[in-house]
Amino acid sequence: MPSQSRDSQRYPPLERVPRHVGIIMDGNGRWARARGLPRSAGHRAGTENLRRVLRAAVEFGVQVLTIYAFSTENWSRPAGEVKALLSILERVIDRELSELYEEGVQLRHIGRRERLPPKLRQKVKDAVELTRSKQRLILNVAFDYGGRAELVDAMRRIIADGVPAEQVDEPLVSRYLYTAGLPDLDLVIRTSGEMRISNFLIWQGAYAEFYVTPALWPDFGKDEFYKALEDYNQRERRFGLVPG
């Protein structure tokens, strides 16, 4: 109980908690380079950090967390780095899936699966199925994901379903996205100080608040996450309207 009391003093309850938070996890390579380590070591450190952020998201009351793990453009990185990232995803599923299940985390994959190795593709599918009924936190892992690719895929499915052009509107498009049924983004966090959206949830984040921190992703812990949520609480969300 004393530790809970200290936490409530350190992290006072927030008046408004964003339902859906997206994180562009940037800076693994720079973190590793600063320590004289290979980039793969930075990616592993970033993966370890994800545990802390997941626990913090649950504690602070976030309902949906989307992490940008691997973009459609990342396939053009050096083959060794791509292989390391695929291996990390597989190890995370092997090591963390049972704990995620016990903690009530629903795991979803958003993005394309065709380019994943068959064994990894099956593991992703099995993990999604196993956790489908969990509701404490929905964790979207954006792997082989691109916002433009998502819109292309949505348009293709709409055409394949024979939807007449006059019936295509924003709610319908949303139902064809990878995130169908989930609320749009409220807050996008980008680590490492970069001021780019990088093709991340460009439809869902149309009116999201954007928060940038200089912290590199492996160093972005509970304190940094709380700062981002505090900053969000100071924003006046306008959704294209004039101030009230």
Q: Name the active-site residue from 7, 49, 74, 94.
A: 74
CA 18 to each of CA 101, 108, 161: distance values in angstroms, whole numbers, following the listed order:
23, 19, 34
* Cβ contact 125:50 at 8 Å: no
Backbone angles phi, psi at 122, to 5 degrees: -70, -40
Fill in the amino acid letter for 244: G
Extract the tokens encoding 112: 């394309």
Number of H helices, E strands in the chain: 8, 6
Q: What is the DSSP letter of 205?
A: T
CA 50 to each of CA 54, 103, 171: distance values in angstroms, whole numbers, following the listed order:
6, 14, 32
Distance CA 207, CA 146 (A): 18
Distance CA 83, CA 74 (A): 11
The yes-or-no answer on residue 233 being catalytic is no
DSSP string, 128-149: HHHTTT--SEEEEEEEEE-HHH
C-beta neighbour count of 220 within 10 angstroms = 26
Q: Name the active-site residue from 26, 49, 140, 144.
A: 26
* Cβ contact 128:138 at 8 Å: no
The yes-or-no answer on residue 74 being catalytic is yes
Give me the active site residues, please.
26, 74
